Each structure stands twice: as structure tokens, then as C-alpha cells.
């Protein structure tokens, strides 16, 4: 039988363990050196002679003290060091929570991202927070958002329901980018939240049979993505921010853990969901280090 002293020691030890885990999740893991998550795959109808390295950064959520312009610039240098052919940004550059010491203006985080360099360029899409925290765009129900203008001012191409043809080693491929699926909040005459994404219209801009890489901030679009698309890249979920044994208790997706994180293959269609770099709602990461994606195709 456990004694009163033993019981108090157990309670005290459990409390200290919880405090230590909480301190690690808030103060340590979010600030650890970035993990490079590598994927190697040949998706459907990918040309045999096309070897392509794509590096992806998602969910920067610029803010102080967690994701300063200096840290973003260092992430850009890490991405460049991977020697990518193409760099893609998967949205949510704007802070997604109030637990910050200061906001980072768009001009500053965009300037830090301007250090990204790749032979085939740097292409971006926007995320829900890039829309939600732009009151002018919310009132208008349309862009361009402050985030889009900042990225374009930094020399980064932004794709919103658009497709861009690229070529490497004599092989063409398409990079398509969706507008955000959760862009508009209720209000301003809108009873419900609404998206601005147009999957069919975006893919209609593809004018030949070359393979397609689709950028979609939220992975929830994936069940609608046709087999014609070789690979879909998404962010948004942050891998749940807390992930243990392949499971995340809370995932901002209608599909829960189905599209929470990692490489998903369904009906010979490929989706990769990044765990992202920053966080929203709470500054907590546990079992889900900040990460940059390196994807080698072919």
C-alpha cells in the first residue's frame, strides 16, 4: 500500500514532469534547429529523364520572439544550401496567434524570404492567415492581400488559381497554385466562411500533357484532386503541432489525421503535407519539430 508520503512524492513528481514537458514543448522544441524532412518518389506519369529537387517551406507565421526576420533569413539560407531546382512557399507568413511580443511587418518577413534562390525560381501560394489578418481584403472579399504584395515586392511569384510552366533538362512540367480554401471569414454580408480556390479553373490553364505539381495550402482539397496531378503539396496542419506515435490529437482539417502530416498515397495519387515551421493558436510543438521539405522527384 502506498504511504501518504509516497503518494505526495508521486503527485509532486508527476507535476514536475508535466511542467518540464510543457517547458520543453513551448521553449525548446519550437526553437530547435530545423529538421530537413526528405522524400524520394517517382509519382504517376513522371518523365523518366526528369530529376527535380523541390524544397518547400510552410507556415512561417512571422512574429517575435518565435519567428523573427533573422530566423526567417537563416531558414532561407538553410533552404538554399539544399541546392534545390525549385523552391515553393506553401502559405501562412502572417502570425497566427496573439501570444507574441510583437508582430513582424510584411515588408520585413518578405525581405527575409527574398534571400531564397533556386535556378527555376521561388513560387508561393497564400494561406488562410494571410487573408484572415488583412481587414481590407476581408471587407472587399478579394485581393491582392498585403501578403501577396509583399511577396511580389520581394521578387517571389504568387500563384492564386494559376498555373506556371517550367522546364528542366528538356522536360516540361507545370506548377499550379490554388487560392486559399478558407480565405474569407463570416461577415461583410457573408453568412459563412468561404474559399477562393478554383481547382477546375486552375487545372484548365494547363495546356499540354506535362506533369503537374499542385500547391494547396490546406490538404482538404486532396480528395478532389484528379490523377492527372502528379503531386500535391500542402501545409496548414503543422502536423497537429503535437504528434505522438503517428497521431495528432488536434488537426485543423475536416479529415482529422488522414491528412495531418507526411506522405499520403490514395488511389495512386500523392500528397505531401509539411509539418511547417511556426505555429498558430499556441506556441507549442511536441514530437513535431519545425521542418523544411526536400522532395526529390524522378
Written as nine digits, the cell of 17 is: 514532469
CATH code for the domain defined by 34-297: 3.60.21.10
User: How does strand 212-215 pair with strand 229-234?
Assistant: parallel
Q: What is the mean pLDDT of the chain?
A: 90
CA 74/CA 33 separation, integer angstroms: 10
Which of the 8 DSSP states describes residue 59? Answer: -
The mean per-residue pLDDT over the stretch 35-52 comes to: 95
**Which pLDDT score is estimated for 28?**
46
How does residue 191 score in pLDDT terms, banded at 50, 70 and 90? confident
The domain spans of the chain are 1-31, 34-297
Helix (H/G/I), strand (E/B), else coil: 14: helix
**Which pLDDT score is estimated for 69?**
98
Residues 6+ apart with CB under 8 A from 81: none
Which residues are 171's β-sheet partners? 168
CA 36/CA 291 separation, integer angstroms: 6
In 3D space, the residue among 98, 90, 100 whose CA is nearest the CA of residue 67 turns out to be 100
Written as nine digits, the cell of 175 is: 506548377
CA 278/CA 292 separation, integer angstroms: 11
**Which pLDDT score is estimated for 98?**
86
In 3D space, the residue among 39, 6, 19 whose CA is nearest the CA of residue 297 turns out to be 39
Q: Is the pLDDT at 18 greater than 60, yes or no?
A: no
Q: Name the residue with cell 510552366.
A: 165
Q: Is the pLDDT at 13 greater than 80, yes or no?
A: no
Residues 6+ apart with CB under 8 A from 248: 237, 239, 240, 241, 242, 257, 260, 261, 288
Q: Name the residue with cell 497566427.
A: 96
**Which pLDDT score is estimated for 4?**
36
For the full predicted model, state whether its pTM sits above 0.95.
no
Residues 6+ apart with CB under 8 A from 225: 199, 214, 216, 232, 269, 271
Which of the 8 DSSP states describes residue 178? Answer: P
pLDDT tens column, 204-248: 999 999 999 999 999 999 999 999 999 999 999 999 999 998 888
The mean per-residue pLDDT over the stretch 158-172 comes to: 97
Amino acid at each position: 500500500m502506498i504511504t501518504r508520503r509516497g503518494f505526495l512524492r508521486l503527485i509532486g513528481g508527476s507535476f514536475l514532469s508535466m511542467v518540464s514537458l510543457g517547458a520543453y514543448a513551448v521553449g525548446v522544441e519550437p526553437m530547435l534547429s530545423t529538421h530537413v524532412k526528405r522524400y524520394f518518389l517517382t509519382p504517376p506519369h513522371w518523365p523518366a529523364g526528369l530529376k527535380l529537387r523541390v524544397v518547400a517551406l510552410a507556415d512561417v507565421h512571422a512574429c517575435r520572439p518565435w519567428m523573427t526576420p533573422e530566423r526567417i533569413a537563416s531558414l532561407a539560407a538553410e533552404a538554399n544550401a539544399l541546392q534545390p531546382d525549385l523552391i515553393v512557399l506553401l502559405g501562412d507568413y502572417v502570425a497566427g496567434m496573439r501570444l507574441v511580443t510583437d508582430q513582424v511587418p510584411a515588408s520585413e518577413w518578405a525581405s527575409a524570404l527574398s534571400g531564397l534562390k533556386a535556378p527555376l525560381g521561388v513560387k508561393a501560394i497564400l494561406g488562410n492567415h494571410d487573408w484572415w489578418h488583412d481587414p481590407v481584403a476581408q471587407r472587399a472579399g478579394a485581393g491582392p492581400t498585403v501578403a501577396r504584395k509583399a511577396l511580389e515586392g520581394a521578387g517571389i511569384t504568387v500563384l492564386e488559381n494559376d498555373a506556371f510552366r517550367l522546364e528542366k533538362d528538356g522536360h516540361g512540367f507545370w506548377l499550379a497554385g490554388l487560392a486559399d480554401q478558407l480565405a474569407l471569414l463570416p461577415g461583410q454580408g457573408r453568412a459563412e466562411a468561404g474559399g477562393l480556390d478554383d481547382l477546375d479553373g486552375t487545372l484548365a490553364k494547363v495546356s499540354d500533357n506535362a506533369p503537374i505539381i499542385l500547391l494547396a495550402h490546406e490538404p482538404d482539397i486532396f480528395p478532389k484532386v484528379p490523377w492527372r496531378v502528379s503531386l500535391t503539396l500542402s501545409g496548414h496542419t503543422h502536423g497537429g503541432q503535437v504528434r505522438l506515435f503517428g497521431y495528432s490529437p488536434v488537426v485543423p482539417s475536416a479529415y482529422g489525421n488522414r491528412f495531418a502530416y507526411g506522405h499520403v498515397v490514395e488511389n495512386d495519387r500523392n500528397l505531401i503535407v509539411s509539418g511547417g515551421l511556426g505555429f498558430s493558436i499556441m506556441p507549442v510543438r511536441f514530437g513535431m519539430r519545425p521542418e523544411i521539405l526536400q522532395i526529390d522527384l524522378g
